[in-house]
Each structure stands twice: as structure tokens, then as C-alpha cells.
Amino acid sequence: MVDLRTDVVVIGAGAAGLMCAIEAGKRGRHVMLLDHAKKVGEKIRISGGGRCNFTNIHAAPEKYISTNPHFCRSALARFTPADFIQMVETHHIRYYEKTLGQLFCEESAKLIINMLVEDCNKAGVHLRLSTEVSRISKTDDGFMLRTSAGQIACASVVIATGGKSIPAMGATGFAYDIAQQFGIEVIATRPGLVPLTFRADKAKEFANLAGVSLDVVASCGKTSFREALLFTHRGLSGPAILQISSYWREGQEIEINLSPDSDMAALLSAARAQASKQSLANLLADHMPKRLAQYLAGDITDKLAMNSTISLAQLSNKNLNAIANAVHHWCLKPQGSEGYRTAEVTIGGIATNELSSKTMETNKVPGLYFIGEAVDVTGHLGGYNFQWAWASGHAAGQYV
């Protein structure tokens, strides 16, 4: 027995799902938007410290991680940051650029949610919250969904339920379960944009530095980011670390330039030439927070078997170069990360070779679409993931 019939069911009332529902509704499709949560757009609400970093003006394919780095190109080209900005301006939402092209609401992220819900209403989208989907079955003319609100028949289904990141907010592996059911490949997932953690002994050292922040260049392999690093009680965080975490794999080292604007070898050499009695810790403190300078000086002199109170005038050429190298190439091997609990995104997901880059429809199951974070497309920190959500949702909305 069918309780409801509609053209399109979008599962997941987050950024991508809301955008898809709006676009499909604007085309005259009868759209039902379902979510198991009590409220729409909870990740939007908490993003950007409550002000929503809703896009980045520099959004481009090279800012995304994917098994197929070209897959996102089509959707991003057809719905650009300028297109979303136009929506924001139409709704008279004030915004500003923070740094590196990141755009934030001047007031509350709730304004973005309200904008999307208002546009859903205008497009005739029927929103049902607190609605669980327990089964999706293929039928001759579409799909049958078994839900807590009854059985729903539809022609198209869009999965916009995101990834596993932040389970406390209701994140699940629903999208991957549906993919498995229909024989669609899923690229192995892992937490992205997440703080890194260290062994207990190293974490104990860092605990004394908790709260210290500085501008660094963090690198893993050939990838580098220049942003802020923050020491925590369990390891390292801050934008530079969140960025590099998306490229880091267990067992790899990360390298950090703790003073990217200085030539430490030249500074040490000049101090030695002046027969300076200044200590290494004091010199380092001119270029980084004092607590870190003291820790680093102790760590370096221990490794070089030097007296921690040695003056710069006493440095040998070998020691001078070793110290400079330690500052500019500080190498660490994280034990792990904080995991999905605090990860901003999930890397991996629905394999892009299973989807049309133009429509986001699956190749194997006509009428079944995957969009947003559920797909194996993950942006850098700074509004890029929201732009992918808007763009992929917009793309699917033109065809469902």
C-alpha cells in the first residue's frame, strides 16, 4: 500500500539536499525533502563559529580531493560562488570576506538556513522532518521508500545524507549503505579537516603548550599549507593542521616550518658573529610565542646533546645548521586523529566513476542520485565544501 506519491524524494535536509530540492521544485517537480533530524541544516548552523563560511571566491577543482580530481569541474562551473552570493544578496544577507577568499555571514548562520527554507517553500517543496527511511526499493517506474511516515512512491531519489563526520549531530553511513545495496562502489572513507593526535608521551609535552598558536607552513609529502597552527592537550589543530590532515595517512610524518618568514641560519650566524651571549630560547622567542621557543630550544639542545643554556656565540657551524633545520623542518609523526567525532568532513565516499558529473545520477540505477559530502569529493578548509554542496545539489536539481 502506497501512502504518498511524489516525483522526487531528497533524503537529507542539509546544504546539498536543500539546494537540490529548491532547483527541482523550481522546475515544477513535486519534491519531498526528508530528514531524520528535528531541524534542517544543523551543520550549516554550527559552521564558521555560527556565522557560516558559506563559500569561497577561489573555489576551483584544484581545491578538492577526489580519486578523480576532474569530476567536480562540471558542477562547479555551472554553479559558481558568484551564483550563491547572488542568492545571499537577493535575501539581503550581509556578509564579509575574512581571509583567503572565505565569505561569512555578518550575523548568524541561521540566515542562510532561513534563506534556503524560504526558497524551498517558494518552490513548493514538501519538508518532512523527524522522518526515518528504513528501506529503498527499485520498482518498474521508480522507487518505493519505507519510512516512519509511511510508504512513499517516487520516480527519483536523491541521497544527500552526507558522510560520517560529527555523529553527535546525527551523521551516519546511510549513503554508503544505500550504495552497497545497489552495487555502487564506495571509496574507503576517513576523517578529514580534523585535529591530529600523538602518543601519550608526546601529547603530554604538547599539553604544556596548549593554547599556543602561530603562523606556520605545514607539509605532508608534496602538499603544503600556510595558516595558523594551534597546540592542544592531545596534539595539534588549527587551520594548517586541519588542512594537512586531509592528505596525511597513518604512519606518515608531517613537516612544519615554525618560522616561515625568517632565515634562521642567517639570524643565528649574525648573532654568533656579534659574540652574543643571548640564549637560543631568547632568540627563538623573537620569532614565535615564548612558551614554544622555550620548549623548542630544550628539545633541540637535548637532541644535539648540548647544554640548554649554551650561548649563541658558542655555536659551531654544524650546530647552527642543525638548529635552523629543526626550526624550518620540524618533523613529527602523529599517532592518529580525533576521528569522525570532530572531523569537519568525510574523505572518500560514493565513487565518482559511478556517477554522471553532469547530473549526479548513478550509471547503474536510473533515477538514483548522490550529492554533497556523500560523494568522493572533499574540499579544502574555508567554504569549499559548502560550494561543492551547492554546486552538486544544483546539478542534480536540474535533472531529477
Q: What is the chain's mean pLDDT, rounded? A: 95
Element housing 85 (H / E): helix 81-90
The confidence band for 279, taking pLDDT boundaries of 50, 70 and 90, is: confident
Rounded to 5 degrees, φ, ψ at 95 are -145, 170
Which residue's C-alpha cell is 579544502? 380
Query: What is the CATH topology of the domain spanning 4-190+341-397?
Result: FAD/NAD(P)-binding domain (3.50.50)
Element housing 365 (H / E): none
The confidence band for 110, taking pLDDT boundaries of 50, 70 and 90, is: very high
Average pLDDT over residues 87-108: 96
pLDDT value at 309 more than 80: no
pLDDT tens readout for residues 50-82: 999 999 999 999 999 999 999 999 999 999 999
pLDDT value at 288 more than 80: yes
Pure H helices in 162-252 = 174-181, 200-207, 239-245
Q: Residue 394 burial by CB count (10 A; 0-12/13-18/19+): exposed, middle or buried?
A: buried
pLDDT tens readout for residues 180-224: 999 999 999 999 999 999 998 888 888 889 999 999 999 999 999
Element housing 276 (H / E): none
What is the C-alpha separation between 242 and 240, in angstroms, rounded? 6
pLDDT value at 103 more than 80: yes
What cell numbers appear for 291 in the block?
612558551
Average pLDDT over residues 356-384: 98
pLDDT on residue 195: 97
CATH superfamily to which 195-337 belongs:
Translation factors (2.40.30.10)
Where are the chain's structural domains?
4-190+341-397, 195-337
Average pLDDT over residues 14-35: 98
pLDDT tens readout for residues 227-257: 999 999 999 999 999 999 999 999 999 999 9
pLDDT tens readout for residues 150-190: 999 999 999 999 999 998 888 899 999 999 999 999 999 99
pLDDT on residue 312: 85
The confidence band for 1, taking pLDDT boundaries of 50, 70 and 90, is: low
pLDDT on residue 310: 77
